[in-house]
Amino acid sequence: MRKTIIAGNWKMNKTATEAEALLRGLLDGDSRTDKAQLLVCPPYTALETAGKLLKGSHIALGAQDISEHEEGAYTGDISAQMILTLGATYVILGHSERRQYHAETDQLVNAKVKTALNAGLTPIICVGETLEQRENNETESVVAAQVKGTLADLASDQLKNVVIAYEPVWAIGTGKTATPEQAQQMHQFIREKVAEKDTEAADLLPILYGGSMKPKNAADLLGQKDIDGGLIGGASLDADNFIGILKAAR
Ligand code: 13P
């Protein structure tokens, strides 16, 4: 049985005070289930508040990025150790917005994945094609290269500790969701690519779907064989919507 993960990527939203209100809404709401791991990834500035509130709860904490370096003269960067000490156990890496606005490459993401794993964090590695790439029939080649590049040189025990999120760029924040069939096809494809490296790790690998997942479309997406959860942006900023998606998973 693979783990189901319902993860909220808050992106650059919520001050620490606003984060507290949202988290209280989740903790006080109907968010308890053994069918899925609930995870929130607030901005760095709300991690400490979130870590204190979520300590000992059923909701896990993650960050949205880390540096590939352990420490040192890297102005503005945040290390794996810094987020770990605030209670984070997951980190999103290689999100398309980091790739687009901060020119992150598969090679850099791969270095961050190794840093995260060495620190004991679970990386959620994002892959996905742009609309142009899909229209040019490059979806599979682009995603295959991202999977290969970001997982390069990982040992088999490390591969068993990663999560992948398939996030078609054209579906992020656009209200356009991949159809359950489109998403399932790509999730199966990603699992096959990982199986070429290690079949056991591929079987265990949680592959989350991301891109305009909402309470109303979540059940169809999460019902697909190779869709093991969601990485949710907009709909994770509201407790009722996020819990609505969680309910679709159970
Ligand atoms: P939306 O759910 O807002 O489309 O964002 C998806 C996403 O990018 C999650 O990482």
Express each pLDDT in 3-36 by its tens digit.
899 999 999 999 999 999 999 999 999 999 999 9
State in Å: Cα 238 to ligand 1 middle: 13
In three-state secondary structure terms, 122 is strand
Atom of ligand 1 nearest to the CA of 235: 2
Q: In this prediction, what percent of the chain has a pLDDT beyond 70?
A: 100
Pairwise CA distance, residues 157 & 117, whole Å: 10
Beta bridge partners of 207: 164
Our measurement of the distance from residue 219's CA atom to the centroid of its chain's CA atoms, rounded to an integer in Å, reads: 18
Residues labelled catalytic: 95, 167
Confidence band of 133 (pLDDT split at 50, 70, 90)? very high
Confidence band of 47 (pLDDT split at 50, 70, 90)? very high
Where would I find the H helices in 59-214?
A: 80-84, 96-101, 106-119, 131-135, 139-150, 156-159, 180-195, 199-204
Q: Give which of 132, 136, 190, 189 is closest to 162, Cα–Cα.
A: 190
Task: Note if the pTM is more than 0.95.
Answer: yes
State in Å: Cα 144 to ligand 1 middle: 21
State in Å: Cα 232 to ligand 1 middle: 5
Atom of ligand 1 nearest to the CA of 211: 4
CA dihedral 223, 229, 234, 238 (to 10 degrees): 90
Evaluate whether 232 touches 245 at the Cβ level (below 8 Å): yes
State in Å: Cα 176 to ligand 1 middle: 11
Query: Does domain 5-248 correspond to CATH entry 3.90.420.10?
Result: no
Atom of ligand 1 nearest to the CA of 165: 10
The pLDDT of residue 180 is 97
Q: What is the pLDDT of residues 192-239, one digit of tens each?
A: 999 999 999 999 999 999 999 999 999 999 999 999 999 999 999 999
Tell me which of 101, 172, 216, 236 to substitute to probe ligand 1's pocket, judged by most ligand atoms within 8 Å of the beta carbon: 172
184: Cβ below 6 Å to ligand 1?
no
State in Å: Cα 170 to ligand 1 middle: 10
167: Cβ below 6 Å to ligand 1?
yes
Q: Please state the rounded mean pLDDT for residues 40-45.
A: 98
- Domain-wise residue ranges, the chain: 5-248
Evaluate whether 159 touches 122 at the Cβ level (below 8 Å): no
212: Cβ below 6 Å to ligand 1?
yes
Tokens of 68: 């590939």
The pLDDT of residue 175 is 87
Residue 173 CB neighbours (<10 A)? 12
Atom of ligand 1 nearest to the CA of 97: 8
Q: Please state the rounded mean pLDDT for residues 153-167.
A: 97
The pLDDT of residue 191 is 98
Pairwise CA distance, residues 120 & 113, whole Å: 11
* Backbone φ, ψ for residue 141 (5° rounding): -70, -40
Evaluate whether 39 touches 60 at the Cβ level (below 8 Å): yes
Confidence band of 38 (pLDDT split at 50, 70, 90)? very high
